[in-house]
């Protein structure tokens, strides 16, 4: 799937007043809605379905394909999906422990799935071990407790629950002996860092172009 850069990095389209968004959240910032999908790669969709649907328990909610091309979506929750392309020539990445530093080109380390309770994380750990997937111990990271493993594609995965009383979403914490200066400015987006949008895309120019999958679902 290829895009021209201006397809990805389109200009904003919201209504502006004094350089801020008129709608969206109370700060005038755009509201995000989870990670719609995290797109990973497998050479074996059958094996991937067996693991993510039948062992981990995610619903397989959407798949499209044609010939050798396919992409399938597994629902994590009401907002987030894990998606897989199937590429014939793909091979698992070289095995590396979660968070273990590497030099050279590298843009991804691991996926952490939040779970409702510690009981569910322990139950999932039991299920993985029973199926022959090695798991770490339950590890204390203060605000979360985590179990680490790998999926059949070699993707480093983590399952965790948030520890009650650790309120970093309400009161952020930067506990770093040598933080970059921007980190000391606090959690909120800083004004005046980037150029203001001078020409929001008007609705009549908000064109949507066909892409992979646009012909597969019945249009209502
Ligand atoms: Fe993590």
What is the reported pLDDT for 218?
64
CA of 150 to the centre of ligand 1 (A): 13
> Alpha helix (H) ranges present in 33-117?
45-49
CA of 131 to the centre of ligand 1 (A): 23
CA of 113 to the centre of ligand 1 (A): 9
CA of 136 to the centre of ligand 1 (A): 13
Cα–Cα distance between 114 and 208 in angstroms, integer? 33
What is the reported pLDDT for 13?
43
CA of 158 to the centre of ligand 1 (A): 6
CA of 71 to the centre of ligand 1 (A): 25
- In this structure, the chain runs to a length of 220
CA of 217 to the centre of ligand 1 (A): 35
CA nearest to 151, candidates 98, 100, 220: 98
CA of 204 to the centre of ligand 1 (A): 42
CA nearest to 129, candidates 137, 117, 118, 140: 137
What is the reported pLDDT for 194?
96
Q: What is the mean pLDDT of each run of 10 residues along the chain (220 residues)?
A: 47 46 75 95 97 98 90 97 95 91 93 97 98 97 95 97 83 92 94 94 94 70
Residues lining ion ligand 1 (Cβ < 5 A) are 112, 158
What is the reported pLDDT for 12?
43
CA of 213 to the centre of ligand 1 (A): 31
CA of 111 to the centre of ligand 1 (A): 7
């Amino acid at each position: 799937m290829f895009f021209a850069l201006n397809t990805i990095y389109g200009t904003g389209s919201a209504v502006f007043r004094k350089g801020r968004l008129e709608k969206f959240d109370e700060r005038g910032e755009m509201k995000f809605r989870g990670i719609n999908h995290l797109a990973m790669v497998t050479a074996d969709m059958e094996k991937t379905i067996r693991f993510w649907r039948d062992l981990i328990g995610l619903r397989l909610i959407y798949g499209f394909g044609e010939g050798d091309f396919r992409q399938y979506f597994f629902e994590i929750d009401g907002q987030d999906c894990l998606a897989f392309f199937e590429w014939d020539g793909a091979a698992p990445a070289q095995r590396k422990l979660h968070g273990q530093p590497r030099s050279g080109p590298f843009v991804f380390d691991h996926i952490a799935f939040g779970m409702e309770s510690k009981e569910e994380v322990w139950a999932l750990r039991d299920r993985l071990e029973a199926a022959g997937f090695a798991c770490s111990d339950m590890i204390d990271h203060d605000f979360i407790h985590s179990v680490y493993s790998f999926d059949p594609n070699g993707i480093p995965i983590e399952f965790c629950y948030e520890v009650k009383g650790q309120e970093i979403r309400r009161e952020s914490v930067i506990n770093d002996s040598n933080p970059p200066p921007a980190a000391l400015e606090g959690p909120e987006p800083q004004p005046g860092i980037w150029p203001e949008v001078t020409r929001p895309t008007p609705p009549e120019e908000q064109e949507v172009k066909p892409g992979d999958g646009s012909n597969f679902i019945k249009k209502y």
